[in-house]
Structure 1
Amino acid sequence: MYTIILFAMVAGFLALRLYAVLGKRTGHEQALPKPSEERVAVPPLPRTVDQQAADVREAGARVIENGAESGLKAVIAADPSFDVAQFIDGAKSAYKMILEAFWKGDEDTLAWLVEDEVRAGFAQAIAERKTAGHVLENRLVAIERALISEASVEGKVARIAVRFDADIAAVTRDGDGNVVAGSLSDAVETHDIWTFARSLRSNDPNWKLVETDEA
C-alpha cells in the first residue's frame, strides 16, 4: 500500500502530488461539470486516524470535519499507509492544477487528473466557451481552507470528499480581449466539494477526481 500523497499526474511531476475543480459560482466563472475520479500515493508509518488528527491539530490546523472520522478509519483499515495530512496537501495541489487546466482549456492535462465522466463535463464546458469566443483569465488567489468532509470504503474503492473554501479572481474576455464579466482586482469566494476515489485492488497508488459539487 502507499502513503496517500496526491501525485501530480502530469508528465514531468515526480512522486508527491495529486490533483483535484469549482463550486459556488458568481456569474463570471464558467460553470463546471460534476462527477468522476483522481489520483495519489507513497509510503511511511501507518498511524490511526486519531493519531493523525492529533498531529494535524498540533500543527495548528483541523482538517477533518465532524462525522468524517469513522469513514477515515475505514480507509485507514483498508490502507494502513494512508496519511491524512499528506492527502490534504496533495488535494490542495490537485485543486489548483485542475482549475488552471480547465481555465486554460488544457484537456490533455485534465485527462491525467480526472475520471472520464468529469473530464467529459469539462470538455463540454471548454467547447461551449470556445464556441462563444470567450477566454477565461482566472487566478486562484488563496485556498482559505481544505477539510475532509466525508470518507468511505465501498467494496474495494475508497472515496474521500474534500471541502475547499477559496478566493478566486476571475475575468471573462471576448475574442477581442474586451472584458465580458468579472474583475481581477476583486477575488470571489468559492465553496467546493470535490470527491476523490481510488481502487484498493489496484497497484496504481493514484487517486482520481470523481465528482465536483458546490458546498
Structure 2
Amino acid sequence: MSGGFPIDLILFAMVAAFLVLRLRSVLGRRTGFERPPRQDGAAPYDPKAARPPAQDMPGELPPPVPQAGGARRSVPDPRSPVGQALMRIRGVDAGFDPNAFLDGAEGAFRMIVDAFARGDRQTLRALLADEVYGGFEGAITAREQNGESQRSEVRAMQEMAVEAADLRGTVADVTVRFVSDQVNLTTGRDGSIVAGAEAVTELTDIWTFQRDLRSQDPTWRLVATRSA
C-alpha cells in the first residue's frame, strides 16, 4: 500500500457532499400537493416542513413564468377581481405564488386522475375534501362490485388557467381550469369495453382547491369538481 495522500477518498467525499446538498435543495421544496405518506416503512410525510421564504413583497404577485412548450398558462391580471383575490391570499401567506400553485395543481390533477383509476383510496383521502372523497370512493366501490376496471391516462396538458379565487378569513379557494388530452375507458370482467374508448379526447375540468392558510398542513385539498 502506498503512503501517498488519499486523493481518491477526498474526491469521493466531495461528490457525496455535493449530492446531499442537491437532494436537500430539491426535496426541501413543498407546494402543498405532495403525495401522501406510504405505509411500507418509508419515511413519514411531514406536513410541518417549512416552506421557502417569499422572494417578492406580500402585496405583489410574481410575474407570469414563460413556458417553453407544455401547457398554456393563464394567471389573472393583478388589477382584475380574481387577481385582487390572489393578492389578498398572498397577503396572508407570503409564500403563495400563483405560478408555483399551477405547477402543484397540475401534479395533483394527474395524481388524482391516476389514483381514481387505480382505486387508490389512500392517495385520494389525502388530497380530497370529505364530500368530494365520498363521491370518488362511492364510484370506486361501485366499479369494484361490478368487477370493472378503469383506465385513465392524461396524455397531455393543453391549458391551465386560474378561473376564480376567494379568501374568507384565512380560508382560501383557488379554482383552476384544466384542458387536457385523456384516454378514459372502463372494462368489464371479461375485458370488454363498457364505457369510454381508446381514442384520445380533449376534456375540460374545473377544479377548486382549498386551504386554511394558517394551518401547519400545506395541502390544498380538492373541494369541488365540474366539467365544462
TM value normalised by structure 1: 0.77
* 1:108-137 deviation per Cα after TM superposition (whole angstroms, max 9, x unaligned): 221111111111111111112222222112
Which residue does 2:54 correspond to in 1?
45
Displacement, 1:147?
0.9
Match of 2:37 among 4, 7, 11: 11
- 2: CA distance between counterparts of 1:64 and 1:116? 28
Secondary structure of the corresponding residue to residue 5 of structure 1: coil
Select which of 63, 86, 99 maps to 2:74.
63
Aligned residue for 1:87, secondary structure, equals helix
Q: Deviations over 1:36-64 (max 9, x none)?
A: xxxx9822324367652x342x4465421
Equivalent residue for 1:131, pick from 129, 145, 156 = 145
* Partner Cα separation in structure 1 for residue 54 and residue 183 of structure 2: 39
Contact 1:6–1:91 (CA under 8 A) maintained in structure 2: no
Aligned residue pairs, count: 186
Quick check: 147-156 or 65-74, which moved more? 65-74
Q: Which residue of 1 aligns with 2:120?
A: 106
* Contact 2:33/2:105 (<8 A) preserved: no
Inter-CA distance 77–127: structure 2 relative to 1 (3 Å threshold): same
Q: What percentage of residue pairs aligned between the two structures are identical?
A: 35
Q: Distance in 2 between matches of 1:55 and 1:121?
A: 35
Structure 1 match to 2:19: none
Q: Secondary structure at the match of 1:148?
A: strand
Of 100, 111, 134, the residue aligned with 1:86 is 100
Q: Provide the C-alpha distance between the structure 2 equivalents of 1:72 and 1:62, rounded to a whole number of angstroms.
A: 16
- Tell me the distance in 1 between the aligned counterparts of 2:142 and 2:217: 33
Given the alignment, which residue of 131, 140, 145 partners 2:154? 140
SS in 2 for 1:68: helix
**Distance across 1 between alignment mates of 2:97 and 2:127:** 20
- Structure 2 residue matching 1:7: 3-state secondary structure: coil
Distance 1:181 1:200, change over 3 A: closer
Change (3 A) 1:214 1:67: farther
1:63-97 per-residue CA deviation (whole Å, 9 max, x = no partner) reads 21464211101111111111111111000000000
d(CA) in 2 for partners of 1:152 and 1:135? 37
Provide the rounded CA distance (Å) in 2 between the counterparts of 1:180 and 1:160. 35
Displacement after TM superposition at 1:199 (Å): 0.8
Structure 1: segments with no counterpart, 5+ residues:
15-39
1:153 to 167, 192, 199: 167
1:212 and 2:225 matched: yes
Q: CA RMSD in A?
A: 2.6
SS of match in other structure, 2:186: strand
What CA distance in whole angstroms lies between the structure 1 residues aligned with 2:175 and 2:129?
15
Is the contact between residue 143 and residue 164 of structure 1 (CA under 8 Å) also seen in structure 2? yes
Question: Could you say if the C-alpha distance between residues 173 and 125 of structure 1 is closer, same or farther in structure 2, counting changes exceeding 3 Å?
Answer: same
Work out whether residues 127 and 219 of structure 2, in 8 Å CA contact, stay in contact via their aligned partners in 1: no
